[in-house]
Every structure is written in structure tokens, then in C-alpha cells.
Amino acid sequence: MSLVLQGVASGVVTGCVYALVALSLVIVYKATDVVNFAGGELVMIGAYLGLLLLLWFQLPYIAMFALVPVAVFAVGALFDRITLRKVGGRALAKHVDLVSFVVATIGLSYLLKGAVRVVPFTEEVRRLPPLFSGPPVFIGDVVLQRQDLAIIAVTTMIMLALWLFFERTLLGKALRATSQNARAAALVGVPVSAMRMAVWGLASAIAGIAGVLLAPKLLMTPDMGAVVMLAFAAAIIGGFSSLPGCVVGGIALGVIQNLVGIFISPQAIAVTPFFVIMLVLLFRPEGLFGESLALKKV
Amino acid sequence: MYGAPPPKQLAALGLLVLAGFVLPHALPDYFLYIGNLLMMYAVLALGLDILLGWTGQFAFAHIAFYGFGIYATALLNMRLGIPFVLGMPIAAAVAALIGLLIALPATRLRTVYLALATYAFAECAQWVFRTWDSVTRGPDGLRMSAPQIFGYMVGNDRDAMPVIAIILAVMLGATLYLVRSRLGRAFCAVRDSEHVAAASGIDVKRTKVLAFTISAFYAGVAGGVYTLFQSFVHPDGLGVWTLVLVLTMIVVGGSGTIGGVLLGVLLLGVLPEALRAAPRGLLVWQEFAYGLILILAIMFMPRGLWGLVIYRLRRKARRGPPPQAVPVPALEREP
């Protein structure tokens, strides 16, 4: 029983990271109709930038934690400004648009992965030092590392900040208007293309933070962007359009994965997210929280 | 664009087969290997393009069908002793059948949802190849025995080339007829607008399912071709990386055009070999190079290289030859 409890607890922790990455994917999708297959690589460069700043420039942890989102924000915003604006600015058939966007983000993902791989710094497999170190914390029978608590705390803070940002600030409202109906937003004076850039930057920054949080728990390799599929699964559970859905989806997925590992087989953990994606899309394509798929933007 | 393909294109198929018989006597082994590899990618890419470029369905499951083709052909040969000539069509039919079964639920989905569902299917298939030890030998990879064709052992690239050239010629010919057929035009109609297609009496769902099935068949054939010139298959080669490679070929060459797909296969199939041959081993840059090529291609050549070439040619043709000074007849000249 304690094994199961432990599995659930650590599932919630990893689920928080999946939820962050899923948020990053869904924010981008809602605002710009782009499925970001490079989301995982943004997580990965977030982690490597953190490592670089800590070990190479010897910066304190707090400075690194502040600088990484800024740098990854710039990567995302520039990608939108340079590539996506050009790709999306053409009047081509709708399916061509989707394919072009996806291909562009796949291009970005290989570009980032390739760039990290050729840097000699990445040849050794390293581990990012955790945010807080110290003896693990016991809650009943459940053991949690301090880093796990930090992950839950930071994730909660980011989600609160996002909620406040989208609900209470003018910029957040402009972003929401852009994602609901870009044409109408433009008519009331929202600078739509600047908003798209901001969304890409914001989403990338979230992914970068997720990288810094995740990296201490994993071995860092240029392939750690594979975590994006877990985020896709989390987002799909949430319907790919609802932000609270992402959070619930992420945490549910983290827990499901650990339970599969305990009750079925550790080998099956790797295939769980894909199974979840297929099952959800097969039986409830709009997700557990999403609006009906028939609803279209004008 | 319908009716029989122009004789020029059919003659090119004949040339391809001829080259398949002649080149093995003229080129060193390494070039023959690359030639076989390119021809296999051509079958794979033509199949994916039927789904992506002609029908406009963005699906990732192609790589799984390719894997089924490889394992089915190899295992039919090794376990049941079924010769290649029978085994490959059976394997391709199995791949097509699985494609059909996937298509039935998958065609209810569109855009992102379709892409993600088929991506998930491809990952699940790769996981099966990796985990089902007793059949696929799992992560150790499967060593395949050389296939036999009418008692003639195909053991190396030299023997395999004529066979592969014939298979590619048949598939290419089939594609030429397919895209000009009623079904091929239905594919394009569904791609351009499902509503208009339905209003013109096209059964959209059936057309999509057929596109999936046919595309899976091509992938199965490509898998069979793989067993002709490779002796080893590993699940790692059946992942997203290979799919992205094929996708890059189509996008860079020009999706929805046969010439463009072949052009893309040629350019991107040769690229890793060129990087390998370059001094100071540029192969580590491979991923970076593919990423950059994909981004630049999608930014500056939305219709691929082929589209760019055709566009230039058409514009030139429309303008006609540059106007020349018309000589004024002598009588009309001012004295």
C-alpha cells in the first residue's frame, strides 16, 4: 500500500512538470494554431542553459533561475518572428498551413537538438544540481525529495501567475482575445502579430523553467526533449484547449504512469502516454475538459 | 490531368529498369548501396505523399507500416520459408490491412488530433518491435537471412539492384496511374475541400480510408525492399527520426508532386553520405543540418524545390521569348 502511495506522490511530482510543458503547448496552440513539436527541445535547452550558467559562468542558482526563462523566451519569440510569421503569412490551403507549421517546429526541434549535440560540453552525461538539497522529507510513509517539493511549489506559483496574468492584466486579456478570434482582436486594436510573438516567448519560457525543474531528476542528454510526448498526452487528456485541463491531465498522467509501472510492468511505462493518447482520441476526442471539436473559429 | 500517363514518363520507367540491370556492372559496391537505399526511400516517400500531399491527411503512422513490412517479410522468409516473391506481397497486404484498421477510427479525427493519434500509434508499434523479444529479437535487432527469388540468392547490393529497380518502376508506374485515376482526383478534391468534395458526390470517408490503406501498402513494399539489401533490422531505425527524414524529403522536394518527391529523396538521401565523406567528419552536424534545411525549405520554398522549378519554367513560358526588334520593311522607311 505504501508503495502505491509513494507511486502516487512521485507521480504527482512528475505530473507537475508534464503539466507545465503541456501548458506551454496549449497556450501556443490556442493562440497561433501551431502544434509545437519543438516543445520538448525548449525544455531541453532550458536545462542545458541552466547547466551552462551554473557550471560555466558560476552564477548563483537564483540568477540562473531568472536568466533561463528570459533566454528561452527569446528563442521562442525569435522563432515566431523569423520563421512562423513568414510561413503563416502566405495564403495557402488550410492543410498546407498545418503541415508547414508542424514541419517548421520539427525543423526547430532538430536544429536545437543538433546544436546542443555539437557542443563538446554535452558529451559527458551530467545532472543539474537540485534547487534545494538536503535530507528527504517524510509525509506519513511517503518520502519526497526537497527538489520534489520545490517542483510542486514552483509549478503552483507559475499556474497562479498565469491565471492572474490571463484574467487580470490588459496584456493577458489581449492575448486571450487574439486566441479567441484574431481578426476581431485586430479590429479592436490588438497588435496581433506582436501578441503571437509574446505567446511564443511566454510558452517557451514556461518550457525552459520546466527544463530546469526536471533536469535534476533525470540524466541530461540532448534527447531529453522526448518528454514532449508526455506533455502531448497530458494536453490531450485535457482536450488540448483548456489550461486547467492540462494541469489535471499532467498530474493524472504522472500518476497513471507510476501505477502502470507498479501493477503492469516497468517496461510498459514508456508506452503509456501513447496508449493514453490513442484511447482518449478514440473514445473522447474532445478530451475530458475540452469544448466540442465542432466549435470553429471564425 | 487524367487518362494514361504521357509516353515519356512510361519510357522513363523503362530506363529505370534498364539502369537497374546495367549499373551493377559499372559502379562500385558503395554506390550500389546508396542507389538501393534511395530507391527504397523513394517507395516509402511516394506512399507517404499519397496520404500527405495528395489527400492532405497529416498522419505519422507510415513508419509503423514500414516496420511491419520489414519484419513480416523477413519472418515469413526465416520462420515459414515463404520466398520473397510471395512474402513481400503478403507483408505489404498485412501492412495495408493494418492501415485500413487504423484508418477507420483515425479518419474521424483531423488536423492535430490525427497527427498525434497516428504519432502515438507509430510509437506504440516501435515499442512492440522493441519488446516482443520472441518474434522480433527485441533490442538486439533481427539478423535476416538472404532472400531468394526463383532460386536466385539475393545476397548483396549488386544482386538486389535489378530487383529493387523493377519494384520501384512498378510502384512508380502505379502511382502515375493512381494520381490520374478517378480515385486520385478524389484524393485531391478531399485535400482541397472536404465540403466541396462531398457536394460533388465523393464519399470523403471512403476516400480517406483508401488513401490510408494504399499508403500503408507502399510502406509495406518499402519494408520488403529493405530486406533485399540489408541483412539486419533494429527497432531504433523504425522511429520518428526515419519518419522525419522521409517527411523532409517530401517537403523539400515538393509534396503532392511525383517529380518533387523523387528529387527530395535524391537530395536528402545523398546528404548524410556527403556529410560522412566530407573532411573532418561533419556527420555530427547531421541533425542540425536537417533542422536548418527543414526550416529554410518551409520558409522559402512552400511548394518545395519542384514547385520552385515549375513556377520558374511556367513564368518563363508565359512571358515568351523576349521581344525582338521588328525589322521595318524597306518601302515604309522615310526616304
CA-based nearest residue in chain B for residue A271: B124
Q: Provide CB contacts within 8 A for B62, sequence distance 6+.
A: B44, B47, B48, B51, B122, B215, B216, B219, B243, B246
The H-or-E segment that residue B308 falls in is helix B304-319
pLDDT digits (tens, 9 = 90+) for A20-31: 999 999 888 888
Contacts of B290 in chain A (CB under 8 A): 107, 110, 114
Query: Is A280 among the domain residues?
Result: no
Asked whether residue A4 is assigned to any structural domain, the reply reads no
Most A CBs within 10 A among B299, B301, B303, B311, hence the mutation to make, goes to B299
Is the residue at A269 inside a domain? no
Domain total in chain A: 1
A107-128: per-residue pLDDT in tens?
999 999 888 888 776 666 677 7
Per-residue model confidence as pLDDT tens digits over B44-90: 999 999 998 888 888 888 999 999 999 998 888 888 878 888 888 99
pLDDT band at B194 (very low <50, low <70, confident <90, very high): confident
pLDDT of res. B287: 82
Q: What is the pLDDT of residue A135?
A: 76
Provide the domain limits for residue A44.
22-223
Quote the CA–CA distance of B152 and B145 in Å, as a whole number.
14
pLDDT of residue B34 exceeding 70:
yes
Q: Decide if A54 is inside a domain.
A: yes
Confidence at residue A63, expressed as pLDDT on a 0 to 100 scale: 83
Q: Does the ipTM exceed 0.90?
A: no
In A, minimum Cα distance to B119 occurs at: A274
B113, B124, B285: residue with CB nearest A281:
B113
Grid cell for residue B252: 523539400
The verdict on a CB contact (< 8 Å) between B124 and A93 is: no
Residue A122 CA to its chain's centroid (Å): 22
For the stretch A137-161, pLDDT in tens is 777 777 788 888 888 888 899 988 9
The ranges assigned to domains in chain B are: 1-237, 239-319
Residues of chain A with pLDDT under 50: 292-298
**Chain B contacts of A103, Cβ < 8 Å?**
247, 251, 294, 298
Q: Is the pLDDT of residue B335 over 70?
A: no
Rounded CA separation A38/A72 (Å): 12
Residue A52 lies in a domain: yes
Has residue A247 been placed in a domain? no
| Backbone angles phi and psi of B202, in degrees to 5 | -90, 130
The predicted model scores a pTM of 0.85
pLDDT at B24: 81
DSSP H helix total and E strand total for chain A = 12, 2
| Structure confidence by residue, pLDDT tens digits, B176-192 | 999 888 898 998 888 88
- Could you tell me what percent of chain B has a pLDDT over 70? 93
The residue ranges of DSSP E strands in chain B, in sequence order, are 142-143, 148-149, 152-153, 232-233
Per-residue pLDDT tens digits for A218-234: 778 888 888 888 898 88
pLDDT (0 to 100) of residue A21: 93
Cα nearest neighbour of A267 on chain B: B131
